[in-house]
Amino acid sequence: MSPNALSFVFCRASWIVAEVMAGRSLAQGSLDRVAAAARPATREMVYGVLRAHGEGDALLAPLLQNRPPAQIHALLLCAVYRLADWPDAHTVVNQAVEAATGMEQGRYKGLVNAVLRNFLRRREALYAGLTAENRWKHPDWWVRRLQAAYPDAWQDIVEVGNQPPPMGLRVNVRKTTVADYLGELQAAGMTAKAAGECGVTLAQPVSVERLPGFLEGRVTVQDIGAQRAAFLLCPEPGSRVLDACAAPGGKTAHLLERYDLDLTALDIHPARCRQIRHNLDRLHLSARIRQGDACRLGVKETGERFDAILADVPCSASGVARRLPDIKWLRRPEDIARFARQQAKMLKSLWQALRPGGKLLYATCSLFPEENGEQIRRFLAQTPDARLTGEEQWRPDAQHDGFYYALIESEH
């Protein structure tokens, strides 16, 4: 990246980081407003800064008498992050100062210059002064929950959560095989390995445009852990299936690639329903797409019962925080109880739409027991005709993100 390009990336990245600090999710499309040529570098910087939750603030605190305006503070976070790996530190400082000329009428150019040069002089001592909490790069309340839930594994979970996620692919078995697709990747100069029955993990992430056969529907980007849902639900051919909270349609598509089904994909948001349609069209798959609230779903609303239901419920997303690093900044401790209440309401609603003898797969991308095992134990205690037949907690590691699955069957 040229020095001038670095200045532009600082401007865009600091603006987006400041938005997240103010409560705006990356899912609201901030990166989409960045010029295409600068988007990859901007994304890398934004994600890197957000993934390092708390560390940048701790490094800057001894260097600042007062907290500057939001975008200037975000610019300093971006610059400190970039100084960790840029070979020419003075170029980073100069380009950060150049970026500051377009912020707050340029009043903070001198501050940015002084703080970053002071940081370079004191860098070794500043890093040595970081506490264990700062090095975890997770909110304190988050770490305490992990410690309680995973007393022997929480440090591994935290360390993995601070790394960039792997890029998993799902091979469309209606169009090709894993072995053949690995050959296509090798021919395209990409290193990859098989993961599970239809998964592939890339050694290095690439843009989807570079993936052989992506536009033709031979492959989809999907975490290996997320691919587990279709295999666990395993609906009978021809059965009536509901994918609740289906957007963006990854699990919907996987079910249709694996099985011949009468499938309904449900989501509450019209725009997300259109996203499901777009993804199914690329894969040449067909399903009924309905806009609706899974918390208010029953026989009266649907006029039918389903043989199998995938309840991919809203959750804290604590298992995918390295992939969605703004989550660590936006979540609050009280959010977990709020999600748990919503999940319980959704489970009760969806159970009413399941036929006797049918099965429901409850799925989250959470690591917190309140949303997972504890939620299911409460549901089973309140639902006499429900029987747990399978349960899996996937902790994030180098191969996949964190997920929870519980397969529940309705007794006749």
- Indicate the residue type of 297: L
Residue 235 near residue 263 (C-beta atoms within 8 A): no
Question: Which of the 8 DSSP states describes residue 384?
Answer: T
What does the buried/exposed string (b/e) look like for 160-188 if buried means 16 or more CB atoms within 10 Å of the residue's CB? bbbeebbbbbbbbeebbebeebbebbeee
Question: Which of helix, strand or coil describes residue 321?
Answer: coil
- The H-assigned helical ranges of 234-269 are 250-258
245 a catalytic residue: no
In one letter, which amino acid is 113?
Answer: N
- DSSP-derived secondary structure letter, 359: E
Q: How far apart are CA 132 and CA 158, in angstroms?
A: 12
Out of 78, 245, 295, 365, the active site residue is 365
Give me the half-sphere count of Cα atoms (radius 13 Å) on the Cβ side of residue 149.
22
Q: Whose structure tokens read 């701790």?
A: 58
Contact 255, 243 (CB under 8 A): yes
Burial of 84 from C-beta contacts in 10 A (0-12 / 13-18 / 19+) = middle
The whole-angstrom separation of Cα 217 and Cα 209 is 12
Catalytic residue numbers?
365
